[in-house]
Amino acid sequence: MTLTDKDTTSIKKTEEPTDEQLIARFQEGDEYAFDLLVKRYRDPLMNFIFRFVGDRTDSEDILQETFLRLYKNKHYYKEIAKFSTWIYTIAGNLAKTELRKRKRRNLFSIHNFMATEKDYELPDKGITPDKHANAVITDTEIQRAIDKLSPKFKQVILLRDIQGFSYEEISQIVNIPLGTVKSRVNRARLKLQVNLKKIMKDVS
């Protein structure tokens, strides 16, 4: 009996370790498990952080600091929580700290919000150059609207609508009650709609 390509793929998927298995291996000294976690979370975390702070250089610094803290504080993780909620908590706290520092320095530029083709690739459905330009502008305007939100609203809407976390997971990441999470997400969405209307009015 021989295995087909489909069977082999299925076996590989079932053998792929979970995040929790990888962090457990890393806690036991397996450096390769750390590398796998970095590879698995690098892109989604970068997307989350960049949407949060809006600056590519700052986002890269925060991403590196997130993984550095993972490396140094690996034994603080306990499997009572999902690994994803733990590492997003670290990244979110670092992002909020950066925004507070920036506010104190009064250094902010809307021009930092430029989507990259890799991070925010649009589906190819016969988009003409003109339509593609409009799509990119729309994404930039959405990011501008997100940035107008306060950090507490920005964090929950990014976790829910961009990263796809459940309300329960967001409650653990942000450390607030479930009802508060749902309320903040709803209020953030309403504020985002208002911000978008203002921005679209300004550019029209």
78 located within any domain:
yes
- pLDDT confidence of residue 96: 94
Confidence at residue 124, expressed as pLDDT on a 0 to 100 scale = 41
Q: Are residues 152 and 179 in the same domain?
A: yes
Structural domain ending residue among the three candidates 59, 93, 112: 112
pLDDT tens for residues 93-115?
A: 999 999 888 776 543 333 343 33
Q: Is 6 part of any domain?
A: no
Reference 191, options 163, 152, 164, 159; nearest CA is 152
At residue 6, the pLDDT reads: 52
Structure confidence at residue 48 (pLDDT)? 96
Q: Do 158 and 104 belong together in one domain?
A: no
| Statement to judge: residues 30 and 80 lie in one domain | yes
Same domain, residue pair 88 and 140: no
Asked if 55 contacts 108 with a C-beta cutoff of 8 angstroms, the reply is no
- In a domain, residue 153? The reply is yes
The tally of domains found in the chain comes to: 2
- Residues 135, 80 share a domain: no
Q: Are residues 72 and 141 in the same domain?
A: no
For residue 51, the enclosing domain spans: 16-112
Domain-embedded: residue 8: no
Residue 7 in domain: no
Where residue 63 sits, what CATH number does that domain have?
1.10.1740.10
Does 129 share its domain with 79?
A: no
Q: Is residue 82 part of a domain?
A: yes
Q: Which of 65, 96, 112 is the last residue of a domain?
A: 112
Check whether residue 22 and residue 108 sit in a common domain. Answer: yes
pLDDT along the chain (204 residues), means of 10: 50 75 96 97 96 93 97 92 95 94 55 36 41 54 89 94 95 96 96 87 70
Last residue of a domain, one of 112, 128, 155: 112
CB distance 87 to 70 below 8 Å: yes
Q: Is residue 146 part of a domain?
A: yes
